[in-house]
Amino acid sequence: MKVSELAKAAGVTAETVRHYTRQGLLTPQRDPDNGYQLFGARDLERLRFIQRARTLGFSLKEIADILAQADQGDSPCPLVRDLLAARLPQIHARIRELQALADRMEHAMRDWAQLPDGTPDGHSICRLIEHTPTEGICPTAPANGGCHAGRKA
């Protein structure tokens, strides 16, 4: 199969196949006549495995480690269990942070529902945000790591 054929068979884009190939997760053969990358049934299986692993939150590095163990004839299942066991508490903490953010946003929307819009006047940018209480709000934005682990959201 060519790149586009493999992509279609797996339900991904050709760029996804190329990316995984550049990362070394897929190892196609080269057509000696034209140099095209040729993929086989094993590559389709690996691509489907990669997609399943991605839906479980595994990074490409972790997937590469899992595939490397399997390629060496070792069971990667203990590694997979360990990776998920380590990640799950982090995911639960992130969910709590996101729920706290959603609660703050809903509260702000209720508070702002009847407030008039203001025009920036050199002293104020947006009075809705400026009049939002800061107590209970994480000083660090979620994109920058969220609240400290010990802090209750």
How many CB atoms within 10 Å of residue 50?
23
Average pLDDT of the chain is 87
> Could you say which of 74, 99, 123 is where a domain stops?
74
153 within some domain: no
9-13, 101-105, 106-110, 116-120, range with the lowest pLDDT: 116-120
pLDDT in tens, 75-108: 999 999 999 999 999 999 999 999 999 999 999 9
Count of domains for the chain: 2
Same domain? 120 vs 139: yes
pLDDT reading at 42 higher than 80:
yes
Q: Does the pLDDT of residue 134 top 90, yes or no? A: no
Is 79 domain-assigned? no
* 147, pLDDT greater than 90: no
Half-sphere exposure of 41 (CA within 13 A, CB side): 0
Helices (H), the chain: 3-10, 14-22, 41-55, 60-71, 77-112, 127-130
Same domain for 95 and 34, yes or no, is: no
Only one residue has tokens 């163990």, namely: 69
Looking at the structure, tell me whether residues 69 and 103 fall in a common domain. no
Is there a domain that residue 149 lies in? no
E runs forming strands in 5-112: 29-30, 37-38
> Dihedral of CA 98/100/105/110: which sign?
positive
85-92 contacts: CB < 8 A, separation 24 or more? 87/57, 91/57
Domain containing residue 55: CATH number: 1.10.1660.10
CA dihedral for 95, 134, 144, 124, sign (positive or negative):
positive
Band (137; pLDDT cuts 50, 70, 90): low
- Domain, as residue range, for 66: 3-74
115 within some domain: yes
Q: Look-up: residue for tokens 């998920």?
A: 84
Are 102 and 69 in a shared domain?
Answer: no
Q: Tell me, yes or no, whether 47 and 12 share the same domain.
A: yes
Does residue 120 have a pLDDT over 90?
no
42, two tokens: 């094993």
